[in-house]
Amino acid sequence: MRHPIATASALAALTLLAGCAESTGGTRPTGTPSLAEQGCLRDVSRQNGNPDVVTLSSSYSEAGTEVIVGVGPDRARWRCIGYKDGATSSIMSLTDEGRL
């Protein structure tokens, strides 16, 4: 038989850890990209002229979400900072840093 205090402590720890989790799969659990992710997908597509874009990963921050976008069939990696309102900044290729 498990001790009730130990079980309650374990549940409290799991709850705290769940609140700290970041999305690294690129989408929310519902499968809907955040506004920051949507903005990055839109603007990376515009920047390179290729509509074949997917979110590879995202790292949430209050200051701005870093979104890694895959472009084209080879999923060339691009980096973008997306904001809660869908605005973006700092778009750059991670495979060809000289390319804008």
Model confidence over 68-94: pLDDT tens digits? 999 999 999 999 999 999 999 999 999
In a domain, 32, yes or no: yes
In a domain, 98, yes or no: no
Lowest mean pLDDT among 11-20, 36-45, 71-80, 89-98: 11-20
In a domain, 42, yes or no: yes
Beta bridge partners of 82: 65, 88
pTM: 0.67
Distances in Å between the Cα of 31 and the Cα atoms of 7, 19, 50, 55, 78 are: 32, 19, 22, 11, 21
Residue 67's domain spans which residues? 23-93
The total number of structural domains that make up the chain = 1
In a domain, 28, yes or no: yes
